[in-house]
Amino acid sequence: MNSNTAYVTTSLEEELKETGLIRLMMDHVSDGVVVFDINLIVLACNKDAVKWSYLKEAEALGQPIFDVFPFLDNDLSRLSLKEALGGCETSMFEQNQDMVGDVGAVWVTAVPIRHEQGEIVGGLLTLKPNGKSTLNGSQTLLSSLENLVPNLSEESLSFSQEKLNRNEAHRQEVEGHLHHLTQELIRTNNDLEQFAYVLSHNFRAPVINLQSLLQLFNAKKLEDPVNTQIFDKIRISIKQLSETLHDLQKIVGLRNEAPRQEYINLAGYIKKVCSLLKEQMLEAGAQIDIQVDDQIELFLPKAYLHSILHQLISNSLKYRSSERPLMLTFQTKYEEEFVKLLVIDNGIGLNHEKYKNRIFGLYQRFHEHIEGKGLGLFLVKTQIEIMGGKVEFESNVDQGTTVHIYFKKL
């Protein structure tokens, strides 16, 4: 049996009658003790308890607890009494009352009284001055001083501990959230840094080349054969610059436009994009397996979904193994607030550990002999992030690649 709950075998009233010795004990306790029923009617109280009331003991019996102790008639006290009657084993609070002399703050404890069978039949209230013993003269000062420092009684310590634990849990939760946000910010910042780095490289390199080429140009002897070579390279450099500029406009455009969103059936749309690439699929002898729930609807820009799927399928076609026909599988899973689409292929794959930080970067390329600009997966990531999702990948050399796309759930 729990020491913070009182138990009775018969009715509460019946138990309170047989009180010869117990009555004596109660009256010699220096704390106020009050027994009340589930309707908050006072059934018994000791001598000390009536010190806290204007009523005499006989007048107090049968009265609502708030009439006997008006200082309990407030939200905090009502809540604590309700908690005790709801089974809360130690409900404690501090209550200021100034009705009886200069008593000051009072510590109130409420515990439930249960019938043996477990039903709650009432509660027990204890009242003690916050500072204990009689209060007069200099002791009033002492008492008010003690009110300023934490009350060190066992109950209040466990109460403070409970409060601290609750605060600690809350603090940890907030800290976890902050940590997550910080990680997210660091990641975004790194992405932006890489973006700026790569872009500035792709602008700087051809500009520097153009400057050098102009210096090498033989203006004194125009028919010098080197001039033809130089002119050719000037043209290439300008082409490189204009391509980078075009890519930049595309990327900036993505971030600025607010594309129209619409409801799209995911399985249906995957089929549609696959059929657009039918010829390449046939040429690769590709097998497609769409294990996507027909019911999944997404609300997002169709243009984005189209370009993401088109890019990923094209990549699977491009980086397929020459040793086996392409097997392309689409699966969905629910994860927290996301619908996760997995695009799985059995292609040549790449070294995940080595390239995990660069795979979605701008102008990053990982295969020597396959043409590519290194823009596709960067755009995929950008579009997914604009939609509030995220993208991850796993890959094994000569086994295949799986791209995980997280779409926000409807």
* Residue of 25, 76, 186, 216 interacting with other proteins (CB under 8 A): 216
Distance between CA 77 and CA 95 in Å, rounded? Answer: 8
Q: First CA to last CA across the chain, in angstroms?
A: 50
Contact range with other proteins by CB under 8 A, out of 3-11, 22-30, 194-202, 399-407: 194-202
Contact range with other proteins by CB under 8 A, out of 5-13, 241-249, 263-271, 366-374: 366-374
201 binds other proteins (CB under 8 A): yes
Contact range with other proteins by CB under 8 A, out of 12-20, 42-50, 124-132, 362-370: 362-370
198 binds other proteins (CB under 8 A): yes
241 binds other proteins (CB under 8 A): no
209 binds other proteins (CB under 8 A): yes
**Residue 182 Cβ, how far from other proteins at the closest point, in Å?**
21
**Residue 354 Cβ, how far from other proteins at the closest point, in Å?**
8
Residue with tokens 């003991």: 57
**Residue 391 Cβ, how far from other proteins at the closest point, in Å?**
21
Written as six digits, the tokens of 288 are: 């497609």
Subset of 261-280 contacting other proteins (CB under 8 A): none
Written as six digits, the tokens of 164 are: 């601290």
239 binds other proteins (CB under 8 A): no
Instruction: State the DSSP code for 370.
Output: S
H-state helical runs in 319-388: 352-355, 376-386
214 binds other proteins (CB under 8 A): no
Helix axes 376-386, 225-256, angle to 10 degrees: 20
Closest to other proteins by CB, 96 or 229: 229
CB 74 within 8 A of CB 161: no
Calculate the alpha carbon distances from 21 to 57, 126, 210, 375 in Å. Answer: 18, 19, 108, 90
Task: Give the other-Cβ count within 10 Å of 32's Cβ.
Answer: 23
Subset of 370-409 contacting other proteins (CB under 8 A): 374
Contacts of 360 (CB under 8 A, 6+ apart): 377, 378, 380, 381, 391, 393
Written as six digits, the tokens of 393 are: 């990948």
| Contacting residues toward other proteins, per CB under 8 A | 197-198, 201, 204-206, 208-209, 211-213, 215-216, 226, 229, 233, 236-237, 364-368, 374
